[in-house]
Structure 1
Amino acid sequence: MSEAFTHVDGGELDLLIIADHASAHVPDDVDLGIDPALLRDHIAVDIGVAEVSHLIADQLGCTAVLGGISRLVIDLNREDDAPGLLPVMSDGHAIPGNRHADLADRMIRFHHPYHHHIERVLEAMNSPFILSVHSFTPRLASDPHQERPWDIGILYNEDDRAARIAIPLLEQAGLIVGDQLPYSGKLLNATMNRHAEANGIPYLGIEMRQDLIADVLGQRRFAGILGPVGLECRNSLA
């Protein structure tokens, strides 16, 4: 066991689910200086992602690696030298405990073990495919007038092979799909750039709208849609 990640061993299929922001956990010795209620908010965790990831892993018989700490402790979906690794503000909320935090310590304790574990899992696969799972808030407190009507977004940087397969399948399943929305994978794709694009591994990057996966019924619905779509992408590309 590691505090940096949760490893879900769901079976032998060469498909790896990666969920960078699956946990709101803050270790006891880390003081963020915030109201604990914020740990239930989207600034701390991708709501619904852990549950959907577990369901897909069980459904497909595949492995999942879920981030084990809140993105307010350190953002696992950022390059090693990126701004925002230790957020001091998030959607209008100050995170005062991060102002004088030791970045090197948190990198060694959380960021490096998480990404090294992903590397080991992928190296053990013969023909890997990655399903990257995130969720987005229907509205930002800092920009409440921004419209985010999509049920799901598909993100990528240079490699859009799986996106081109998945988008029509998701639309056929009745979802409103954003292509590079609500933001672009060309701007925010660190984990997939590192583990997928840099190694020629095909992947599908998804963002689910949080209010649609906030309860068990929504989580089951999305897992039931995404499992077959992810498998179709994997079978076509891996």
Structure 2
Amino acid sequence: MTGPETHEAWREVAGDPASGLLLIADHASNHVPADVDLGIDPAILTQHVAIDIGVDPLGRALCAALNCPGIFGGVSRLVADCNREEDKPNLVPIASDGHAIPGNDLDHAGRVARIDRFWRPYHARTSEIISDISPKLLISLHSFTPKLATSDEPRPWQIGILYNQDDRAARIAIPLLEAAGVVTGDNEPYSGKILNATMNRHGEGNGIAYLGIEVRQDLIGDDAGVARWAKILAPVIAETLTGLRDGA
């Protein structure tokens, strides 16, 4: 694998392909290119609706701790949601979590152009990296809100492990997290059988084991939280990879 490439649709972190790992963070950025007008209050870009809060620094910390490469989404999910199937309307959302996104009310040609500019290159590059380094485990990193905007019920989980049909890594990681005292959701706070597009494509589609990690975002909202959770998660990921190799 050559050194990291640059593109507006993604950012790469260098690492050792021999690590057996590739970290993928679809929603790590709230960037909106200057020529894309979403028609929203810029303050919305600081919220979960636009970015998975804490994922960029946590992802970089995990790549460093595990010496593994990573690919991070380069634009806000309000520009193009890379964790959606190509035919899903909310790939280019016209509304999200109660916020209208009037700039995304595009005609067919405009929607296709947006997908061609961001979604396709992101997934093409991810596929290229996977082909180049043949990882044994994909790490899908996201964060979730402490509670839904539409509910007063708190989400108690510190970490959620998401999966669809392939639960090989999940079944190893969940007991490791529980043993470390982490309040862990098994396909919570939502199910990977529903929200799993990137891992369905690159993990299940290639027969590669994956670990879908969702971190409650209030836990990784500052440097201290990022450092703490990187220290907790890195050995769990490493042990999960070892368990997969031992079981192969």
- Taking structure 1 as the reference length, the TM-score comes to 0.96
Q: Return the match for 1:5 from 10, 16, 20.
A: 10
Offset from partner CA, 1:23-62 (integer Å, 9 cap, x none): 0000000000011011110000000001011001111110
Which structure: greater helix fraction? Answer: 2
What is the distance in 2 between the residues matched to 1:69 and 1:122? 21
User: Paired residue for 1:28?
Assistant: 34
User: Paired residue for 2:228?
Assistant: 221
What secondary structure, in the 3-state scheme, does the structure 1 residue paired with 2:115 have?
Answer: helix
CA contact (8 A) 1:91 1:140 kept: no
Q: Give the deviation of 1:139 after TM superposition.
A: 1.6
Q: Percent identity?
A: 56
What is the distance in 2 between the residues matched to 1:193 and 1:126? 17
- How many residues are treated as equivalent by the alignment? 237
Q: Give the deviation of 1:122 after TM superposition.
A: 0.7
| One-letter amino acid matched to 2:122 | Y
What secondary structure, in the 3-state scheme, does the structure 2 residue paired with 1:84 have?
Answer: helix
Q: How does 1:57-72 map to 2 (within 5 A)?
A: 57-72=63-78
User: Paired residue for 1:181?
Assistant: 188
User: Paired residue for 1:209?
Assistant: 216
| One-letter amino acid matched to 2:9 | A
For structure 2, list consecutive stretches of 5 or more residues without a partner in the other structure. Answer: 1-5
CA contact (8 A) 1:135 1:209 kept: yes
| One-letter amino acid matched to 2:151 | P
User: Paired residue for 1:93?
Assistant: 99
CA contact (8 A) 1:47 1:135 kept: yes
User: Paired residue for 2:120?
Assistant: 112
User: Paired residue for 1:39?
Assistant: 45
User: Paired residue for 1:80?
Assistant: 86
What secondary structure, in the 3-state scheme, does the structure 1 residue paired with 2:205 have?
Answer: helix
> Is 1:172 matched with 2:185?
no
Runs of 4+ in 1 over 4 A off after TM superposition: none
What secondary structure, in the 3-state scheme, does the structure 2 residue paired with 1:208 have?
Answer: strand
Offset from partner CA, 1:40-89 (integer Å, 9 cap, x none): 10000000001011001111110000000000001000011013111111
Offset from partner CA, 1:194-231 (integer Å, 9 cap, x none): 00001110110011000000001111111111111111
Instruction: Compute the RMSD of aligned alpha carbons.
Output: 1.1
User: Paired residue for 1:159?
Assistant: 166
